[in-house]
Amino acid sequence: MIELEQVSFRYQNEASHVFENLNLTIEQGEWVAIVGRNGSGKSTLAKLLNGLCLATSGVVRVNHTVITSESKHQVRTQIGMVFQNPENQFVGTTVADDVAFGLENLAVPRDTMIKRIDQSLEQVDMTAYKNHEPSRLSGGQKQRVALASVLAMQPEVIVLDEATSMLDPIGKEQVLSIIQELHEQLDVTVIMVTHDLNEAALADRVITLNEGTVWFDGKPREFLEKGDQLHEVGLEPPFVTKVYQQLSRQSITVTQEPLHYEELVDELWRLYLKT
Amino acid sequence: MKQSFILGQYIPRDSFIHRLDPRTKIISLILFVITMFVIDRLFIYSLLYGFVLGCVLLSTIPITYLIKGLKPVWWLVVITFIFHVLFQRDGEALFDVFGFIIYDQGFIQGGEIASRLLLMIVMATLLTLTTPPLAITDAMRWFLAPLTRLGLPINELAIMMAISLRLIPTMTEEMDKISKAQAARGLDYTRGRLRDRLKALLPLLIPLFISAFKRAEALAMAMEARGYQGADHRTSYRQIAFRTMDYIIVCLMTTATVSIYLMTG
């Protein structure tokens, strides 16, 4: 469980706060998408969760441990993080070495390490690339390795800081489907920072940040219902939402607001069959 | 361009030499170099030539590849030889070429020094051709490990080496991208006087450095997020292991070096 209590944060040498008095609770096993425009503080929020940034005031708690400069190392064993640029988080010379890096840091014995590396590469379907060098992998494959590196450390929470934003559509889809699978199988908490609302619609809960405050916190469907209001916080409603809203404007009602293409297509067929 | 010079490259194979522990190879190389400097008899040179040839054959790396890859070195060897032949003033005068008196010792010493250079470079190249850079790093870490007691950050150095090795292809790619981007803006660093060409390199180097710094920052954050707290108190995934064959090789090499030393001494 992650709790933020009255958290304020300000970067050094900068006058304005990124957050002021932010309160937030994320339960174990939730899948949360954090969305917002550039500069809304969503990446900073992610960094507050594992002590890469420390709150200027207020308290961030992970499983009842308050994050301080002393406790942050311990917290990092529970929170794994995947960053945006696949190239800038690949530490090892080969895939296996990279997955090993985190385990070496935790001083995991070598026998256990070997088992965990195999297991986590299996989970992200990268076993065949175990001895490959990063220069021979695509962006999507590198992100899957980054995910494996995090999984090998067996965290309770996985934070993805725009982890798919530099990937091509296929790579993106593969990474997302792996995350979906992991979330279902392992009951890990997934916190996904993104500006892709299609991606956010996959989550159980959407938190929208705007100018350092929580603008929205709730189910993705309710979030997308806001439609044109999303422009106010610098977000572009996805195509599916736009179609839905055009339909409602024409007084054509469907059973529920579609979240993604599949649901939209279902609704459209239902309409077609009715008429 | 990359293919023209092979010193420092690694060719993955599964040969006897490849399978040896990197420490065995480094120790052998050092012993070999010591031998090179103590010997003064011609017939031992032929032994050493035979030894090097044997090593090359065992490594299954094609000799033509070595010959092509070491092209710049051949020139160095040939020039060293000619230099000695022309300027050596010992021994019997043989004949006269354009005012240079050629002595027999010139041939002998020139041959010795050129051979030393050649054999040493071939052996050192063979080490890097048959050993992954990371394995060499691991071996160096092992050799230097006692120095950690003196407070030298050997483990940190090893990690730095490993990360540098990992980033070489990334940075090469980046350099390529930048040079294309700058060429598209009309930069030409292949023509003109040397001074102009060096000046034209600046627009390549500055973006490269800026991106390297940004990358370093991001990488540091990623390392920290994965629990890195300094290079001590870590376990190691990669292992280098001395096998029976390694013990045998090290013993043989030591014996050979000592006996050659006794023979000549």
Query: Could you read off the pLDDT of A230-248 as tens digits, one per residue?
Result: 888 888 888 888 888 888 8
CATH (residue range A2-220)? 3.40.50.300
In this prediction, residue B265 carries a pLDDT of 65
Distance CA A195, CA A35 (A): 5
Contact B225 A83 (CB under 8 A): yes
Within 10 angstroms of residue A205's Cβ, the number of other Cβ atoms is 18
CB B168 within 8 A of CB B143: no
pLDDT of residue A256: 81
Residues of B with CB under 8 A from a CB of A: 133-134, 162-163, 165-166, 169-170, 173, 215, 218-219, 221-229, 233-239
Q: What is the mean pLDDT of chain A?
A: 90
Residues of chain A contacting B165 with CB distance shorter than 8 Å: 93
* Cβ atoms of A236 and A230 closer than 8 Å: yes
Q: How far apart are CA B237 and CA B203, in angstroms?
A: 41
Give the whole-angstrom CA distance, residue A256 versus residue A241: 11
Tokens for A106, please give them.
Answer: 């935790």
**Total residues belonging to chain A:** 275
Can you name the residues that pair with A209 across neighbouring β-strands?
A214
Q: What is the pTM of this model?
A: 0.81
Q: Give the separation between CA A162 and CA A83, rounded to whole angstroms.
A: 7
E strands of B84-240, at which residues?
Answer: 93-97, 100-103
pLDDT of amino acid B206: 93
For residue B237, the distance in angstroms to the closest alpha carbon of chain A comes to 6
Q: Strands (DSSP E) along chain B, which ranges?
A: 93-97, 100-103
Mutation target for B interface from A70, A73, A93: give the one with most B CBs within 10 A: A93
Angle at alpha carbon of residue B256, lines to B252 and B261, rounded to 5°: 150
Pick from B165, B215, B237: which is nearest to A88 by CB?
B215
Strands A189-194 and A157-161: parallel
Question: A102 contacts in B (CB within 8 Å)?
Answer: 226-227
E strand residue ranges, A178-230: 189-194, 205-210, 213-218
What does each C-alpha distance from A127 to A98, B47, B76 come to in angstroms?
13, 47, 47
DSSP A125: T
Of A100, A133, A135, which has the smallest distance from its Cβ to B237's Cβ?
Answer: A100
Phi, psi of A7 (to 5 degrees): -80, 130
Count of C-beta atoms within a 10 Å radius of residue B59 = 20
More confident residue, B69 or A4: A4
Cβ pair B70, B125 in contact under 8 A: yes
What's phi and psi for B211, nearest 5 deg? -70, -30
> How many other C-beta atoms are found inside a 10 Å radius of the C-beta of residue A12?
5
Structure tokens at A194: 């993104």
Alpha-carbon A100 to chain mean position: 23
Q: What does the block give as tokens for A112?
A: 């256990």
| Predicted local confidence at residue A46, as pLDDT | 92
> What is the sign, positive or negative, of the torsion defined by CA atoms of A231, A234, A238, A241?
negative
What is the distance in angstroms between the Cα of B216 and the nearest Cα belonging to chain A? 8
Q: What is the pLDDT of residue B1?
A: 37
Contact status of A113 with chain B (Cβ, < 8 Å) = yes
pLDDT value of residue B5: 61
67-86 in chain A: CB under 8 A from chain B:
73, 76-77, 80-81, 83, 85
Q: Does A54 touch chain B (CB under 8 A)?
A: no
Better-predicted residue by pLDDT, B96 or A108: A108
A103 in reach of chain B (CB within 8 A): yes
Average pLDDT estimate for A171-191: 92
Task: Flag residues of chain B having pLDDT under 50.
Answer: 1-3
Domain boundaries, chain A: 2-220
pLDDT confidence band for A127 (50 / 70 / 90): very high
Segment A115-136 mean pLDDT = 92
Cα separation of A123 and A148, whole Å?
7
Q: What is the pLDDT at residue B2? A: 45
Percent of chain A whose predicted confidence (pLDDT) is above 70: 100
Taking the CB of residue A189, how many other CB atoms lie within 10 A of it? 22
Q: What mean pLDDT is predicted for residues A125-151?
A: 92
| Chain A residue at shortest CA distance from B212 | A88
For chain B, what is the radius of gyration of the CA atoms?
24
Measured between CA atoms, how close is A180 to chain B, in angstroms? Answer: 22
| Pairwise CB contact (< 8 Å): A88 & B223 | no
In DSSP terms, A81 is beta-bridged to A159
Q: Could you tell me how far CA A139 lies from the centroid of its own chain?
A: 17
Tokens of B163: 């990360």
Cα pseudo-dihedral A151, A39, A88, A136, rounded to 10: 80
Separation of alpha carbons B56 and B54, rounded Å: 5
CA-CA distance, A155 to A172, in Å (whole number)? 22
Chain A positions in Cβ-Cβ contact with residue B221 (cut-off 8 Å):
52, 83
CA B107 to CA B192: how far, in whole Å? Answer: 43
- Please say whether the dihedral angle defined by the alpha carbons of residues B227, B229, B235 and B238, taken in this order, is positive or negative: positive
Q: Which residue of B has its CA nearest to A53?
A: B221
Average pLDDT on A32-39 reads 90
Angle at A256 between CA A255 and CA A258, to 5 degrees: 125
B95 half-sphere exposure, CB direction, 13 A CA radius: 2
Q: What is the rounded distance in angstroms from the CA atom of residue B261 to the CA atom of residue A235?
A: 79
**Alpha carbon B159 to chain centroid, angstroms:** 20
Q: Determine the distance in angstroms separating the CA of B136 from the nearest CA of chain A, rounded to an integer.
A: 13
The full set of domain ranges for chain B reads: 2-132+240-264, 154-225
pLDDT band at A54 (very low <50, low <70, confident <90, very high): very high
- State whether A133 and B221 contact (CB < 8 Å): no
